[in-house]
Amino acid sequence: ELLLYLKTMKRPNILLTGTPGVGKTTLGKELAQRTGLTYINVGDLAKEGELYDGFDEEYNCPVLDEDRVVDELEEHMGEGGVIVDYHGCDFFPERWFHIVFVLRTDNSYLYDRLQSRGYVGKKLQDNIQCEIFQTIYEEAMESYKKEIVHQLPSNEPEDLERNLEQILQWIGQWLKDNN
């Protein structure tokens, strides 16, 4: 009943961002399940639509074609009710998001998570450095209004539950304020 109600309302767009391995996908999928909002993993979207602009030999991964990603997402974003998950955030139009959550993870946890994904050498080191220097958080603070950017700790399983509760509360308040 609540889900049906949610579908007919004006709904917020949420950006989940942060260094690879901080738990964006786990949080995003669970959030979508609990709210009925649409979850979009930009990495998967790019893979499906081959939205690439070459290959990065150093990091051994394709280079995202940001313009094509934005074009691909545009129609979804206008309708609202979308959770976007990506480790970068400065190329999305500012008007798309009502709130931005930057997930943060302590290096001891992050190192193990990235290693288990097969990250090695420079790719592993650079992602750890990225987290140490708050690179994604600063990118978010420069790209969006400061008051919509929030950091969430993402270390232990309890953090996931706490973060879900916090975001669900925020969504509830947003719906009240905007409908």
- Residue list for the binding site for ATP: 21, 23-26, 117
- 22, HSE (Cβ side, Cα atoms, 13 Å): 30
Q: How far apart are CA 137 and CA 150, in angstroms?
A: 9
Strands 52-56 and 61-64 turn out to be: antiparallel
Cβ neighbours of 104 (radius 10 Å): 20
Q: Which residues pair with 61 in a beta bridge?
A: 56
**What's CA 140's distance to the chain center, in Å?**
11
Q: How far apart are CA 164 and CA 31, in angstroms?
A: 7
Annotated binding site: 21, 23-26, 117
Residues 156-172 as b/e (b if ≥16 CB within 10 A, e otherwise) read eeebbeebbeebeebbe
